[in-house]
């Protein structure tokens, strides 16, 4: 789109409109919704009528679409119809539309003969619904009346309801669950559904039937959705209808509310619109439920009050949209917190859904696990209670929105829930413990050293039984899948599965899993001719080296060390889930920042890094890698570029910081979400600490954090990098914590925080 003209160059009829729009961007009027739309609409009406004064009086200008409905938002398209009953129109269209185009406005324009309008209304539903809300602006009123009669005649023959239900079903097919980044105009729970209600009312009026006006709930939903839409337009400076993470805070500021409050209003509103659609169009539930009923052979019914069983509840939960609709009033009876939970958003960028929609999706993901992948299905069979798994999926985040640790709060709510529905004994305790510990496996897998026997022992002690471990494993996978695409990937699947299998072996299930090796096993595999070389290599490294590497790994590393003629040796091996790279080099203070910069400069993400230094100062670092902008392995050309850049940087021939900055600039349109950086430091025994960093992610972010840690004099032993759709959640196990602990921690947190600001 070309740049908008200066106001001084804008034709005078439209200057007032553009000035009014700019003023509203700076400061809203009223609540930011309907009052803004009315003001914009009336101002534009004046301008369009002035422009249309130059048209012949037998032509008619009609406002259609959102403009016709009076829902003109700050950067809405200007939908206009030029209606005529001529053979030749001349330059009338240019006279009407050219000033709008010259002013930089987006114009949805159409020019139709009155007979053509009738044909179009009969042949295309979108044109028909647009004309339903047509509003006369200027010209021949008799021609507009003829258009109105034409639309009325089409209305009597058109089954509008079937079309509207079909459109709503398509919205639900695209989004089976309500989303946080809702398109407030055309998305599920948005304005387009309310437009359908209005179109039905217009149709009823046209064919002479009484149609009740919008109720207070519908009016309130329209008011909130219009306010959010205007706020998004105002802060984006363009037509932007999606409640994206990047714009939420600014949109809330424009509306004069807190970000959480605005998100909560929108979550509540989209759920209300969804519920109103279910009540107005019951086919939305009955049609999708047909396939489910064929599978289940019976339709889930809401049980009579006081006779709810666990089987009834689980059956309704597994009944999809139809079952959830029937279950809603039941949940409000047995979970007093449920009504509040309906308003709770999730503001982190990696959460696709508000809390309740996330719970519904987790239930469905659990059903998919139980009846899908043989690995998960076999574990579910061992648990032996699909109803228990279904309820764990529903309840795992039930404590959100209450303040404090939602896992602990949720466990308390679950205990009361079990009492209300009659779940007792081991099953009640199992559900409570599943909710209390539902984050345990995910956090341990992505933050802790899975090769450390103490970690496996700690998780096993916390879980306490194989059956609870199995429930937590299935719940972890279902929860992650239901959160969003950035949360679950093959690498995390491997980490969680590895943790599960190692803890399960602690309970005697399956064969004991030991990833590492022993000095004797390595020497035996190496052969007599390499005994001295391998022994010197192993003895020069910390004890944990053998615990975290296989025999093949140790022999590979030792070969790279023996070939270390210059400053660095690099090698890459392909893997099914991630590629493994080894960097062997003579230690220097800036080595690891240069290595991570070389990856970032060449479009490679680090998933995990294990960093060790031999007693002679030689660094042996292992990285799990994948390309940052595509799937598949790291390309050969990519890896050659990494090697060349790193060698050049070590020799002082290239500034990798500039290369990272150039790559970041190339993707400057990808704005990081406004996530406040957060750093936590947990000091352990033996001079080791765990540093957890959460911040907005971007190209080169890992290199920035590594540089801050190195500048603080810390030796990184293990790094686990968790990128989640614009958010970095990284964990570093470090040694050599300086003396003067409290001051060092304060300095380190300030240093890291300053390095990770967006």
| Nearest Cα residue to 464 out of 423, 436, 443 | 436
Contacts of 438 (CB under 8 A, 6+ apart): 392, 396, 397, 407, 472, 475, 476, 479
**Cβ–Cβ < 8 Å for 126, 133:** no
For residues 189 and 187, give the distance between their C-alpha atoms in angstroms, rounded to a whole number.
Answer: 6
Express each pLDDT in 319-361 by its tens digit. Answer: 888 888 888 888 988 888 899 999 999 998 889 999 999 999 9
- Tell me the pTM: 0.88
Count of other CB atoms within 10 angstroms of residue 327: 21
Contacts of 371 (CB under 8 A, 6+ apart): 377
Domains in the chain, ordered, with CATH? 7-158 (3.30.460), 163-280 (1.20.120.330), 283-334 (no CATH), 345-506 (1.10.3210), 673-758 (3.30.70.260)
CB environment 583-615: b (16+ within 10 A), e (fewer): bbbeeeeebbbbbbbbbbbbbbbbbbbbbbbbe
**Cβ–Cβ < 8 Å for 400, 343:** no
Q: What are phi and psi of 202, to 5 degrees?
A: -60, -40
For residues 653 and 651, give the distance between their C-alpha atoms in angstroms, rounded to a whole number.
Answer: 6
Express each pLDDT in 587-645 by its tens digit. Answer: 888 999 999 999 999 999 999 999 999 999 999 999 999 987 677 899 999 999 999 99
The DSSP letter of residue 694 is: E
Helix H or strand E encompassing 571: strand 568-573
Q: With bands split at pLDDT 50, 70 and 90, how would you rate the model's confidence at 292?
A: very low
| Nearest Cα residue to 317 out of 331, 305, 332 | 331
State the residue for tokens 């795992």. Answer: 396
Of 156 and 561, the structure prediction assigns the larger pLDDT to: 561
**Cβ–Cβ < 8 Å for 260, 345:** yes
For residues 211 and 197, give the distance between their C-alpha atoms in angstroms, rounded to a whole number.
Answer: 10
Q: With bands split at pLDDT 50, 70 and 90, how would you rate the model's confidence at 667?
A: confident
| Nearest Cα residue to 701 out of 668, 728, 724, 662 | 728
The DSSP letter of residue 62 is: E
Express each pLDDT in 106-144 by its tens digit. Answer: 999 999 999 988 888 888 888 888 888 899 999 999 999
DSSP lists the bridge partners of residue 138 as 61
């Amino acid at each position: 789109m070309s740049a908008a003209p200066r106001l001084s160059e804008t034709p005078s009829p439209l200057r007032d409109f553009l000035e009014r729009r700019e003023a509203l961007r700076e400061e809203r009027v009223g609540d930011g919704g309907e009052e803004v739309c009315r003001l914009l609409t009336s101002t534009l009406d004046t301008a369009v009528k002035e422009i249309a004064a130059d048209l012949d009086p037998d032509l008619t200008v009609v406002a259609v679409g959102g403009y016709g409905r009076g829902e003109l938002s700050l950067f809405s398209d200007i939908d206009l119809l030029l209606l005529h009953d001529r053979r030749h129109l001349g330059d009338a269209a240019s006279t009407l539309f050219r000033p709008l185009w010259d002013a930089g406005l987006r114009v949805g324009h159409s020019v139709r003969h009155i007979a053509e309008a009738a044909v179009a209304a009969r042949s295309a539903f979108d044109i028909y619904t647009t004309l339903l809300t047509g509003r006369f602006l200027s010209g021949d009123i008799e021609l507009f009346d003829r258009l109105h009669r034409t639309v009325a005649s089409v209305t009597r023959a058109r089954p509008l309801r079937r079309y509207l239900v079909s459109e709503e079903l398509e919205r639900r097919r695209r989004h089976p669950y309500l989303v946080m980044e809702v398109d407030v105009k055309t998305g599920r729970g948005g304005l387009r559904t309310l437009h359908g209600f209005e179109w039905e009312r217009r149709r009823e009026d046209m064919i002479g039937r009484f149609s009740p006006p919008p109720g207070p709930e519908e009016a309130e939903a329209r008011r909130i959705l219009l306010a959010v839409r205007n706020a998004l337009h105002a802060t984006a400076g363009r037509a932007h209808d999606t409640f994206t993470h990047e714009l939420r805070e600014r949109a809330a500021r424009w509306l004069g509310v807190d970000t959480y409050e605005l998100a909560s209003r929108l979550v509540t509103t989209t759920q209300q619109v969804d519920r109103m659609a279910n009540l107005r169009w019951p086919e939305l539930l009955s049609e999708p439920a047909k396939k489910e009923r064929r599978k289940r052979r019976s339709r889930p019914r809401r049980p009579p009050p006081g006779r709810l069983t666990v089987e009834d509840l689980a059956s309704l939960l597994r009944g999809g949209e139809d079952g959830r609709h029937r279950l809603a009033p039941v949940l409000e009876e047995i979970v007093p917190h449920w009504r509040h939970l309906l308003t709770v958003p999730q503001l982190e960028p990696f959460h696709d859904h508000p809390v309740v929609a996330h719970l519904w999706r987790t239930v469905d993901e659990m059903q998919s696990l139980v009846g899908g992948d043989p690995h998960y299905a076999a574990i579910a069979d061992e648990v032996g209670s699909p109803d228990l798994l279904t309820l764990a999926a529903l309840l795992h985040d039930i404590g959100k929105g209450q303040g404090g640790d939602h896992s602990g709060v949720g466990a308390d709510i679950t205990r009361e829930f079990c009492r209300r529905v009659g779940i007792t004994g081991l099953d009640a305790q199992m559900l409570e413990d599943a909710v209390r510990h539902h984050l345990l496996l995910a956090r341990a897998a992505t933050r802790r050293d899975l090769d450390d026997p103490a970690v496996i022992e700690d998780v096993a002690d916390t879980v306490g039984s194989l059956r609870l471990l199995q429930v937590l494993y299935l719940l972890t996978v279902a929860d992650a899948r239901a959160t969003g695409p950035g949360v679950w990937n093959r690498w995390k699947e491997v980490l969680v599965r590895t943790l599960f299998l190692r803890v399960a072996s602690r309970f005697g299930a399956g064969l004991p899993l030991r990833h590492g090796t022993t000095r004797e096993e390595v020497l035996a595999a190496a052969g007599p001719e390499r005994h001295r070389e391998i022994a010197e290599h192993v003895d020069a490294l910390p004890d944990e080296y053998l615990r975290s590497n296989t025999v093949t790994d140790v022999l590979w590393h030792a070969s790279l060390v023996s070939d270390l003629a210059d400053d660095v040796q690099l090698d890459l091996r392909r893997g099914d889930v991630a590629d493994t790279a080894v960097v062997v080099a003579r230690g220097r203070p800036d080595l690891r920042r240069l290595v991570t910069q070389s990856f970032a400069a060449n479009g490679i993400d680090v998933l995990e890094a294990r960093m060790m230094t031999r007693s002679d100062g030689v660094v042996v670092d292992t990285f799990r890698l994948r390309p940052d902008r595509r799937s598949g392995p790291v390309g050969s050309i990519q890896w050659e570029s990494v090697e060349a850049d790193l060698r050049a940087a070590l020799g002082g021939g290239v500034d990798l910081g500039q290369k990272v900055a150039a790559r970041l600039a190339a993707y400057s349109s990808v704005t990081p979400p406004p996530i406040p950086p957060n750093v936590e430091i947990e000091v352990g025994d033996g001079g080791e600490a765990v540093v957890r960093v959460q911040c907005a992610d971007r190209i080169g972010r890992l290199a920035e954090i590594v540089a801050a840690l190195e500048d603080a004099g810390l030796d990184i032993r293990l790094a686990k990098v968790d990128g989640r759709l614009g958010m970095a959640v990284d964990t570093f196990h470090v040694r050599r914590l300086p003396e003067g602990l409290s001051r060092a921690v304060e300095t380190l947190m300030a240093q890291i925080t300053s390095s990770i600001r967006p």
